[in-house]
Structure 1
Amino acid sequence: MPEPRDAPETSPLTAAIPVTWRRRLSLRPGLERVRDSGAAIAQIVIAATGAFLLAHYLLGHEAPLLAATVSISSLGLARDARPRKVVETVLGMLTGILISELLRLVFGSGPWQLALTLAVTLLVARFLMPSPQFAVAAAIQSAIAMVLPAGPLPFLRLADGAIGGALAIVMTALLPRNPMSTELRDARVLFTALDAAMGRVVQGLRRGDAVRADRGLEKARGLQGDVDAWRTSLESAQAVSALSPFLRSRRIELARHARVLQSVDLAARNLRVVARRAAYVVRDGEPRPAIAEPLAELQRAAGVVAHALEDISAEPAAREALLAIARRLDPAAMMPDASQGELALLAALRPFAVDLLVASGLTHAEAAAAIPRI
């Protein structure tokens, strides 16, 4: 009879982290969602109510349900509230209502007519637009229009939907969702995650600790989600600022943030290279303070770059701090007796420093010229 195998050891990188009952019952996540959705909720309530009242009192429709549903569905609670996406959703829903009204005139209403309406709507919507959301929005509104009782005149529901869509677009411009605060919050999340990843790699190098270096690599690999979240909210803010008269003055600031985002995206990719080489180098358990120190300085300078997003007066300080580090990044001069792996790790800091310099306001050519030639 074979002997039972020993249970495999759990890696500190993959060990489960217990979640306490206090964390499960915390009210904080719910309160944060309410805070983040406040402007979106106000948009939806005003647009839907306004559309219903306009259709009811201006056009005399008894129950203009589609005026409200089109407003609600087109605005939604999604983070990405770019006007283009709102317009696409409105057009999708109006397409669905139009198809439903046409088919109802020809075939009447009933179960098989509903099936036919959905099939035709989805086929037409997929032909018109590549977005799946466009097709789903069209299908939902076509189903509602088909199921609702017929009005005294054809295409009244299309007029209701048009009013709802128009109010949604107007609310996007006149009552924007404060996209600046959202994109700044996403920027802070990214820089906090970047700082944590760099900190773990620095600890691993200072102590010769492979577990900390591996944790830093793991954190560096997880940065892309935060980069994508900031990009989504920043693009949404730029689109809204181009339409809203209240946010046009923020275009220059948003353009600066876009430049920082592009550079930090590249920096995050280069940090993965740095972390991977650091994890390899410290496998022997030997501390590398000579490599840890310049990375720690870059970490502190990256924090100043993050602060400069909200206070542009801090940008020159970030730039000078990064230049002071960049001018010393000559692997042979820093560690004359370094191994091949150590030299490769030091060399990986160079493009990482260039990306942070560009984030601080230099052009790529100026940043590259600050690095010693090797």
Structure 2
Amino acid sequence: MTEGSTAAQLRRLERRVRRQLDVRMAGQRVWHSLPAIVQILVAVAAAYSIAHWGIGHTVPILAITVTINTLGFSRDARPRRVAESLLGILLGVALSDGLSIVFGKGLWQLLVVLLVVFVVGRAVSSNVAFAVAAAVPSALVVLLPTPVGGPFGRTLDAAIGGTVALLATALIPRDPRRAELRDGRTLFSILHESMGSIVESLADADEAAGDLALTRLRRTQPLVDDWTKSLDTALAVARISPFLRHQLPELRRHVLALTAGDLASRHLRTLARRVEYLVRDGRPRPALAGVVGEIATAVGLLGQELDDLQVAGQARSLLADLTRRLDPAVVVPDAAITDAAIVLMLRPLVIDLLIGTGMDPAAARALLPPV
């Protein structure tokens, strides 16, 4: 087999794998979006029914478009965001209806309406999406013929669509807990893998493993941001939804875990940089590797505890036992100051993780041995 044919086969294999990954990722996107799709379809059906059969509007376009635009597929499905989108849309439609009565319909009238809507939208809200949400339906009002019910019939349709969207957020929630759980598990999985690389670096004096840990940890901030947004959404929806209110205690516990994960990622980035430099002398450090390995196990348990109450408390027990032993004179007796500094760096890390398990901060700090 020639070198050219081998390269061609490798390229074909790479394309096949890429296609398979694309198909799998597309399937995952659709699966994760199914709750939102169902919510939007039910809301559209309700808005259309109210505007068409309840009020008598023949073609309630804005009742449908406002419902879709207000709910959407955004990760941020908080009722406050839905209400802000609704306010922007209603503002744009009402202004457009009023200006159309005064100036009529046409291109220059459309431009005047959009100018007014953009200016008012930017003045009312600092959110740039607010003005855009107001402008799109306002353009429809100017371009479409005046409905039979009168010029402000479309404003009524928009109000119906927005109200239905708000009700759907509370009564047909998307169970945002599933999204925030997925984000939380992803963050703790990356932290656990990164700590495994730090352990390998210390145990084998492997500089490359330390560099790999640092590379992984530098990618954690977007994960923290995603979890923050999805958890805020889950809390906001659970507060107003009678079907999800029972999840509030668990979600509040996840707030502690999120804070711990965020602080741990910051501590670990500093630790990975220090370890990468430390192991350049080629000397393995099994004692330090063992301590970091225990913390890695606790981090893995924290990730499991997010949705598995059977393991709840295991991370706290492991961390509490380790905290009592975090004295450089105990972990690395007679070691160089650089090794002792690693132990000292681990102390605030384990305290933050203990607080993430729900332990009182003062009680957690009291476990630390004096140095």
- Tell me which interval the TM-score lies in, with the shorter structure as reference length: over 0.9
In the TM superposition, residue 366 of structure 1 has moved relative to its aligned partner by 1.2
What is the SS of the residue equivalent to 1:77? coil
Call closer, same or farther: CA 1:267–1:90 in 2, change over 3 Å: same
Matched with 2:293 is: 296
Matched with 2:92 is: 96
From 301, 310, 316, the counterpart of 1:319: 316
* Cα distance in 2 for residues equivalent to 1:139 and 1:165: 15
From 348, 362, 365, the counterpart of 1:365: 362
* Cα distance in 2 for residues equivalent to 1:69 and 1:100: 16
In the TM superposition, residue 335 of structure 1 has moved relative to its aligned partner by 1.6
In the TM superposition, residue 306 of structure 1 has moved relative to its aligned partner by 1.7
Supply the AA of the counterpart residue of 1:104: S
Matched with 1:219 is: 216
CA displacement, residues 150-197 of structure 1 (integer Å, 9 cap, x when unaligned): 123110000000010011011101110011111111111011111111
1:126 paired to 2:144: no
Supply the AA of the counterpart residue of 2:15: W
Supply the AA of the counterpart residue of 2:109: Q
In the TM superposition, residue 316 of structure 1 has moved relative to its aligned partner by 2.3
* Cα distance in 2 for residues equivalent to 1:276 and 1:373: 26
From 180, 185, 197, the counterpart of 1:183: 180
Matched with 2:268 is: 271
Matched with 1:210 is: 207
- Provide the TM-score with structure 1 as the length reference: 0.93
Call closer, same or farther: CA 1:69–1:25 in 2, change over 3 Å: same
In the TM superposition, residue 337 of structure 1 has moved relative to its aligned partner by 2.6
CA displacement, residues 281-306 of structure 1 (integer Å, 9 cap, x when unaligned): 01222211111110001101111122
Matched with 1:3 is: none
In the TM superposition, residue 333 of structure 1 has moved relative to its aligned partner by 2.6
In the TM superposition, residue 345 of structure 1 has moved relative to its aligned partner by 1.5
Contact kept, 8 Å, 1:56 with 1:63, in 2: the verdict is yes
Matched with 1:24 is: 18
1:336 paired to 2:336: no
Output aligned runs, 1:74-89, within 5 Å. 74-89=70-85
Q: Which stretch shifts more, 172-181 or 145-154?
A: 145-154
Matched with 1:57 is: 53
In the TM superposition, residue 19 of structure 1 has moved relative to its aligned partner by 9.3
Matched with 1:13 is: none
| Unpaired stretches in structure 1, ≥5 consecutive residues | 1-17
CA displacement, residues 32-75 of structure 1 (integer Å, 9 cap, x when unaligned): 11111111001111111221221111111111100000000000
1:307 paired to 2:304: yes
In the TM superposition, residue 262 of structure 1 has moved relative to its aligned partner by 1.2
Over aligned residues, Cα RMSD in angstroms? 1.4
Matched with 1:242 is: 239
CA displacement, residues 97-130 of structure 1 (integer Å, 9 cap, x when unaligned): 0111111011111111111111110100111111
Contact kept, 8 Å, 1:240 with 1:247, in 2: the verdict is yes
Contact kept, 8 Å, 1:64 with 1:157, in 2: the verdict is yes
What is the SS of the residue equivalent to 1:151? coil
* Cα distance in 2 for residues equivalent to 1:137 and 1:353: 46
* Cα distance in 2 for residues equivalent to 1:97 and 1:19: 53
Contact kept, 8 Å, 1:98 with 1:155, in 2: the verdict is yes
Identity %: 44
Q: Which stretch shifts more, 355-364 or 227-236?
A: 355-364
- Provide the TM-score with structure 2 as the length reference: 0.93
In the TM superposition, residue 361 of structure 1 has moved relative to its aligned partner by 2.2
* Cα distance in 1 for residues equivalent to 2:215 and 2:334: 29
* Cα distance in 1 for residues equivalent to 2:110 and 2:282: 69
* Cα distance in 1 for residues equivalent to 2:243 and 2:194: 38
From 252, 266, 269, the counterpart of 1:255: 252
Call closer, same or farther: CA 1:73–1:290 in 2, change over 3 Å: same
* Cα distance in 2 for residues equivalent to 1:211 and 1:317: 32
* Cα distance in 1 for residues equivalent to 2:96 and 2:277: 63
Contact kept, 8 Å, 2:185 with 2:306, in 1: the verdict is no
Matched with 1:12 is: none
| Unpaired stretches in structure 2, ≥5 consecutive residues | 1-11
Contact kept, 8 Å, 2:256 with 2:357, in 1: the verdict is no
* Cα distance in 2 for residues equivalent to 1:210 and 1:83: 48
